[in-house]
Amino acid sequence: MSDIVLDWADGQPVSRRFGDVYFSRDGGLAETRHVFLDGNRLSARFAALPEHAVFTIGETGFGTGLNFLAAWQLFETTAPARCRLHFVSTEIDPLSATELASALALWPELRPWAQPLLAQYGALPPAWHRFQFRGGRIVLTLLVGDARETLPRLDARVDAWFLDGFSPARNPELWSDALFRAMSQASRDGTTVATYSSAGAVRRGLEAAGFRMDKIAGFGRKREMLRGTFVSTARGGSVAPWLRRPAPLASRPRTAIVIGAGLAGTAAAASLARRGVDVTLVEREDHVAAGASGNPQGMLYINPSAHGTVLTQLLLGGLGFTLRELAAHLPDDATAWSRCGVLALAHDAEEALRQQALAALGWPTGFSRVVDRAEAGALAGVPLPTGGLFYDGGWVHPPALCAALARIASTCDPRTARWRWSATTVSGMCAPRTARRCAPIWSSSRRPVTRGRWARRRRCH
């Protein structure tokens, strides 16, 4: 991976690795709408979604995020209000934040959608990164790595595929049977696919994987493109029972009870609420973070392996997600949290070797970089015996994070002998009737970290 992914030619972004353009010179946004949105009939399918449905799009090649933003824009203008969009994309060379901003500046019409993406986007090491927008209604899962490795591990039910890697002529490795098989594993009857390519090998590969393909008129100078629909009986071979996806739940749960308002409980409650579930958060004490999460300062750091382990990918994805949650919900004011970075010193020969191996992975420097002894000392504010690795991260006051997560909504239930909050929306608003009857629970002796509305049970009657 490198910090610089793009070159610019005639005002258009071009990939350094593949030497190909990211979108048609005839008009990238119009091409996206023709090939991917219309090719998958998304306007009509979004409009016909039942209440609370989740529509999942899978993509090869996130690039500048143009397809994502165009799909999001269409979803917001056509889908019923309580439906959600999950966009799963893959990217081997994620753009830097600066490159993404320059590329998306080409589409002023998409500014209202590009801004929230840019506000969250940062240096992305190889991992699965989740972004949430519009209170969780729009979710982006970005699988950073080679799609041929990441997609076969994806456990999802995709409704529509955008096949948008660089052209098969420039990037033949991507358009492989392995990729088409992975797509078929994550498809169901009726899943659609669209691609600007009309190459015979692509058509044959997709057909062998179970897609019934058609050629239709392409965009701009491209005479033809492909689109298709997945039919499970057309898939070659059979899937062993233990590899089959479980059938989807007939109905999604509408309510849930979460016990314990520590980091685990409040994060679970927030996550469920974002999925439209009415959550009741039950805590035995009279405040959040009454257990281990009550410690005043938690470091936001990871101890990665240089061997690309699944655990390391999980840690990288989790750290990024946590930092985005914190940036969205708490002020970085050195009271609630601070993104001051974390310095890992090369304190002995073994650690120095480990750090060399990590540095050789070439992760984006905005995420981790080697610092010498002088810079390490300057960062830490004290003289140090050695340099090391400087990571994105910092520290958080965990009770502030618990409060922020639980603040999505709060009510108190006079029928219970215990503290009880109910998180019903993502917006953090308390039901007005309850809000009048509830008072903040933090006493002045505590750090001023909660800004939510909290309920003291004895006032609720």
Ligand X SMILES: C[S@@+](CC[C@H](N)C(=O)[O-])C[C@H]1O[C@@H](n2cnc3c(N)ncnc32)[C@H](O)[C@@H]1O
Q: How many residues make contact with ligand X (CB under 6 A)?
A: 22
Contact positions with ligand X (CB under 6 A) in 84-143: 90-93
Contact positions with ligand X (CB under 6 A) in 133-162: 146-148
Minimum CB separation of residue 395 from ligand FAD in Å reads 7
Nearer to ligand X, 198 or 425 (CB): 198
39 is a contact residue toward ligand X (CB under 6 A): no
63 is a contact residue toward ligand X (CB under 6 A): yes
Minimum CB separation of residue 149 from ligand X in Å reads 8
180 is a contact residue toward ligand X (CB under 6 A): no
If contact means CB under 5 to 8 A according to the sort of partner, which of ligand X, ligand FAD, none does residue 146 touch?
ligand X
3-state SS record for the chain: CCCCCEEEECCEEEECCCCCECCCCCCHHHHHHHHHHHCCCHHHHHHCCCCCCEEEEEEECCCCCHHHHHHHHHHHHHCCCCCEEEEEEEECCCCCHHHHHHHHCCCHHHHHHHHHHHHHCCCCCCCEEEEEEHHHCEEEEEEECCHHHHHHHCCCCEEEEEECCCCCCCCCCCCCHHHHHHHHHCEEEEEEEEECCCCHHHHHHHHHCCEEEEEEECCCCCCEEEEEEECHHHCCCCCCHHHCCCCCCCCCCCEEEEECCCHHHHHHHHHHHHCCCEEEEEECCCCCCCCHHHCCCEEECCCCCCCCCHHHHHHHHHHHHHHHHHHHHCCCCCCCEECCCEEEECCCHHHHHHHHHHHCCCCCCCCEEEECHHHHHHHHCCCCCCCEEEECCEEECHHHHHHHHHCCCCCCCCCCCCEEEEECCCCCCCCHHHHHHCCCCCCCCCCCCCCCCCCCHHHCC
Nearer to ligand FAD, 284 or 446 (CB): 284
Minimum CB separation of residue 449 from ligand FAD in Å reads 15
If contact means CB under 5 to 8 A according to the sort of partner, which of ligand FAD, ligand X, none does residue 164 touch?
ligand X
Nearer to ligand X, 202 or 430 (CB): 202
| Chain contacts with ligand FAD (rule: CB under 6 A) | 259-265, 282-285, 290-293, 295, 298-299, 398
195 is a contact residue toward ligand X (CB under 6 A): no
If contact means CB under 5 to 8 A according to the sort of partner, which of ligand FAD, ligand X, none does residue 292 touch?
ligand FAD
If contact means CB under 5 to 8 A according to the sort of partner, which of ligand X, ligand FAD, none does residue 174 touch?
ligand X
Nearer to ligand FAD, 415 or 436 (CB): 415
Nearer to ligand X, 107 or 367 (CB): 107
Minimum CB separation of residue 418 from ligand FAD in Å reads 6
If contact means CB under 5 to 8 A according to the sort of partner, which of ligand FAD, ligand X, none does residue 295 touch?
ligand FAD
391 is a contact residue toward ligand X (CB under 6 A): no
If contact means CB under 5 to 8 A according to the sort of partner, which of ligand FAD, ligand X, none does residue 284 touch?
ligand FAD
Residues at the site binding ligand X, with contacts judged by CB under 6 A: 15, 22-23, 61-67, 90-93, 146-148, 164-166, 171, 174
